[in-house]
């Protein structure tokens, strides 16, 4: 009888701890470009779009640059096609990892200014 209470107590205590650890490991911090270059973790970097980028058909990758508020430029390689609204974007959030002089993005979030302006402006 006592072992049921001990097992139940361990489950009740263990589940919130496991959930907190799982949630914490899924968080991806925002960092500056210089912090991303010094990190070995998956991070989010936000920057202003520089140019229109280049889609390499042979490698099936999209290459472009972003600039942060400090003026530092980051070369980004995204394993996928160029997002349709990329040319209208004011800022790009890249989620990925910096390796060998290039930020390898596994996900892009395109921030379009027209989405946030009232109609008729």
Q: What is the pLDDT of residue 24?
A: 62
* Count of structural domains within the chain: 1
Who contacts 91 (Cβ-Cβ below 8 Å, separation ≥6)?
A: 46, 47, 48, 49, 66, 111
Per-residue pLDDT of the chain (121 residues; tens, 9 = 90+): 688 888 888 888 888 787 777 766 566 778 888 888 998 888 999 999 888 888 888 888 999 999 988 889 999 999 888 888 888 888 899 999 999 999 999 999 888 765 555 555 5
Residue 13 lies in a domain: no
From residue 96, alpha-carbon distances to 40, 69, 78, 99, 102 in Å are 10, 19, 9, 10, 10
Q: What is the pLDDT of residue 78?
A: 94
For 105, the domain range is 30-116
Residue 97 lies in a domain: yes
Give kind and range of the element (H or E) at residue 4.
helix 2-26
Residue 1 lies in a domain: no
Q: What is the pLDDT of residue 62?
A: 93
Q: What is the pLDDT of residue 27?
A: 66
Residue 7 lies in a domain: no
Q: What is the pLDDT of residue 12?
A: 85
From first CA to last CA, the distance across the chain in angstroms is: 71
Q: What is the pLDDT of residue 104?
A: 94
Residue 72: CATH number of its domain: 2.40.50.140
Among 61, 63, 25, 67, CA closest to 45: 67
């Amino acid at each position: 009888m006592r072992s049921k209470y001990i097992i139940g107590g361990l489950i009740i205590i263990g589940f919130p701890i496991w959930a907190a650890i799982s949630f914490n490991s899924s968080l991806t911090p925002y960092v500056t470009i210089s912090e991303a270059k010094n990190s070995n973790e998956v991070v989010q970097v936000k920057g202003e779009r520089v140019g229109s980028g280049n889609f390499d058909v042979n490698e099936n990758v999209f290459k472009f640059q972003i600039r942060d508020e400090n003026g530092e430029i980051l070369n980004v390689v995204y394993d996928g096609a160029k997002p349709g609204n990329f040319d209208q974007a004011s800022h790009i959030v890249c989620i990925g990892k910096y390796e060998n002089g290039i930020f390898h993005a596994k996900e892009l979030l395109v921030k379009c200014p027209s989405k946030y302006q009232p109609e008729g402006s």
